């Protein structure tokens, strides 16, 4: 194994010893984008994914900052790396397995780049269940699939929970909401569903799509349990409801 990199800059505002430098983080962001390119992901989608990954990373940095909850130096590093890598296989691989697959790939890349086994493995654990369920499924799907047997949430670590909740939180932001609408637009099944609703309610397909995305955002809200994240989630949700009030009341 390569030597552990040991001169992180102060951007990561923490007090103890840290293993990875900012350039390394930038390199990892680029590695993830390269992975998308090499797996023939559309340029538009790559842009969306990169934005999403950055948004999750920003939330993670915010919630693990000194003024927020007490995540320690190591946990903060794990969370930031997990945010960078968490959706690396989301589009190119099996969607339901993108937690597990992503975790494995992140661990490999990190170790190849001199990150200690311990850190790389912790990152992998945080990614493995970033969709929440024990089975590695997104909470909603797992509920459908496993019914009452589904226990939620089951995380291996508190960092994993934080990363997961930050990931969900993005759905409740204007940018994340746009991404959901775009994905619905590009999905045949969803499009048909939205057309049906549009006809029934005498609204446009776009409006039907917004209503459905709002519904799923509301469900996501119920998966957020960390108090400091929940507060922001509720704020985002109120804003969204205000924005689409006329449509909701139709």
What are the φ and ψ backbone dihedral angles of 167, each rounded to 5 degrees?
-60, -45
Cβ closer to Fe ion: 88 or 240?
Answer: 88
Cα–Cα distance for residue pair 38/30, rounded to 1 Å: 12
Q: How far is the CB of 210 from Fe ion (least distance, A)?
A: 21
Q: How far is the CB of 11 from Fe ion (least distance, A)?
A: 22
- Residue 181's contacts (CB-CB under 8 Å, 6 or more residues apart) are 206, 209, 210, 213
Contact status: 101 vs Fe ion (CB under 5 A): no
Cβ closer to Fe ion: 59 or 150?
Answer: 59
Cβ closer to Fe ion: 77 or 87?
Answer: 87
- List binders of Fe ion among 52-91 (CB under 5 A): 87
Contact 59, 166 (CB under 8 A): yes
> Alpha carbon of 48 to those of 87, 159, 230, 241: distances in Å?
12, 24, 24, 24
**Binding-site size, Fe ion (CB under 5 A):** 2
Please choose, out of 114-122, 162-170, 193-201, 216-224, the segment that lies near Fe ion by the rule CB under 5 A.
162-170
Cβ closer to Fe ion: 14 or 213?
Answer: 213
Cβ closer to Fe ion: 87 or 194?
Answer: 87
HEC assignment per residue over 142-169: HHHHHHHHCCCCCCCCHHHHHHHHHHHH
Q: How far is the CB of 242 from Fe ion (least distance, A)?
A: 26
Q: How far is the CB of 170 from Fe ion (least distance, A)?
A: 7
Please choose, out of 4-12, 148-156, 159-167, 198-206, the segment that lies near Fe ion by the rule CB under 5 A.
159-167
Cα–Cα distance for residue pair 162/79, rounded to 1 Å: 8
Contact 168, 177 (CB under 8 A): no
209-213: list long-range contacts, CB under 8 Å, 24+ apart: 209/181, 209/184, 209/185, 210/181, 210/244, 210/247, 211/247, 211/248, 212/184, 213/177, 213/180, 213/181, 213/184
Q: How far is the CB of 205 from Fe ion (least distance, A)?
A: 26
Q: How far is the CB of 102 from Fe ion (least distance, A)?
A: 7
Query: Which residue in the set 19, 135, 165, 167 belongs to the binding site for Fe ion (CB under 5 A)?
Result: 167
Return the closest-CA partner of residue 61 out of 31, 44, 82: 82
Please choose, out of 2-10, 161-169, 174-182, 217-225, the segment that lies near Fe ion by the rule CB under 5 A.
161-169
Cβ closer to Fe ion: 8 or 85?
Answer: 85
Q: How far is the CB of 90 from Fe ion (least distance, A)?
A: 5
Residues at the interface with Fe ion (CB under 5 A): 87, 167
């Amino acid at each position: 194994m390569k030597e552990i990199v040991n001169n992180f800059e102060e951007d990561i505002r923490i007090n103890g010893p840290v293993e990875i430098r900012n350039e390394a983080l930038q390199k990892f962001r680029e590695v993830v984008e390269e992975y998308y390119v090499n797996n023939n992901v559309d340029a538009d989608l790559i842009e969306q994914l990169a934005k999403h990954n950055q948004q999750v990373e920003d939330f993670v940095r915010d919630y693990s900052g000194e003024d927020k909850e007490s995540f320690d130096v190591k946990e903060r590093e794990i969370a930031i790396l997990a945010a960078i890598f968490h959706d690396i296989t989301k589009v190119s691989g099996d969607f339901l397995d993108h937690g597990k697959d992503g975790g494995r790939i992140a661990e490999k890349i990190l170790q190849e780049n001199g990150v200690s086994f311990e850190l790389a493995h912790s990152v992998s654990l945080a990614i493995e269940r970033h969709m929440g369920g024990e089975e590695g499924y997104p909470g909603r799907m797992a509920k459908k699939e496993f019914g009452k047997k589904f226990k939620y949430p089951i995380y291996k670590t508190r960092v994993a929970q934080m990363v997961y909740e930050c990931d969900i939180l993005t759905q409740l932001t204007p940018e994340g909401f746009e991404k959901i609408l775009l994905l619905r637009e590009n999905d045949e099944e969803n499009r048909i569903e939205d057309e049906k609703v549009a006809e029934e309610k005498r609204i446009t397909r776009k409006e039907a799509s917004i209503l459905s995305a709002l519904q799923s955002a509301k469900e996501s809200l119920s998966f957020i349990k960390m108090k400091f994240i929940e507060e922001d989630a509720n704020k985002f949700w109120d804003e969204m409801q205000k924005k689409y009030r006329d449509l909701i009341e139709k």
